[in-house]
Amino acid sequence: MSEEREPLSRDRVVQAALAVIDQSGVQGCSMRAVASELGVEAMSLYHHVPGGKDEMMDGVVAMVQTEFVTELELTGDWREDMCSFSRAYRATLSAHPNVVAMIAARPSVAYRSSTVLVGTIFNAMEDTGFPREDALRAVRVVSRWTIGFTMGEASALEDGASAEEFDEPLLVEVFTDIARGEDDVFEFGLQALLDGIEARLNA
């Protein structure tokens, strides 16, 4: 007897779409490609994502956002929680680099998927004394910076340039630093950003 196939569901369709995007990029993700990944006909996908490709892509963004949000443990210390948020976001985006531009293009879906998390950070910042507007903007700035950093990090890896290719001393320094890895640069930028945000509170 043949093995019974797992029934289709919205989650399975979205997971398959993410797998296709990870392998072939956003341009390679079509209803037909996702159906092929699942071993079904393309029309059967519409029972689970009636909005077609747009709904499926929104689902991918929500799934990637939820992937790191649900695993975060917050402490109630706004700065520590913001660090955890940014680091976990970077790790998730680095695992799915082709999704980064999709998140940037679908901010409403991204924010909706992380409301509980960012709401907790907003509250911690307000308890520390930040005005609500500053707290909201701080989370938006850190989110956008993390997305931009990860996008730039992926581009640098794809470019593949090395220090040996340059005669200009400054470029040699830059690409030598890139070759060491971006973790220190990420932490430098994150802490500098949070220092600036904290300075607003104490101004």
Q: Which CATH architecture has domain 1-50?
A: Orthogonal Bundle (1.10)
Let me know: does 95 contact 65? Beta carbons within 8 Å. Answer: no
pLDDT of residue 10: 95
pLDDT tens digit sequence for 90-138: 999 999 999 988 888 888 888 888 887 788 888 889 999 999 999 989 9
* Rounded Cα gap, residues 148 and 150, in angstroms: 5
* pLDDT for residue 1 is more than 60: no
pLDDT of residue 6: 76
| In the chain, where the domains are located | 1-50, 60-202
Mean pLDDT for the chain? 86
pLDDT of residue 3: 47
Comparing CA positions, the residue from 85, 52, 62, 90 lying closest to residue 183 is 90
> What is the rounded average pLDDT of the residues 39-68?
93
Region of residue 181 (phi > 0: left; psi between -120 and 50: alpha; otherwise: beta) = left
The DSSP string of 4-59 is PPPPP-HHHHHHHHHHHHHHH-GGG--HHHHHHHHTS-GGGGGGT-TTHHHHHHHH
> What's the predicted TM-score (pTM) here?
0.82
Long-range CB contacts (within 8 A, 24+) of 120-126: 120/74, 120/81, 121/74, 121/78, 121/81, 121/82, 121/85, 124/74, 124/76, 124/77, 124/78, 124/81, 125/78
* Rounded Cα gap, residues 14 and 11, in angstroms: 5
3-state helix, strand, coil in the chain (%, to 5): 80, 0, 20
Classified by CATH at the fold level, domain 60-202 comes out as Tetracycline Repressor; domain 2 (1.10.357)
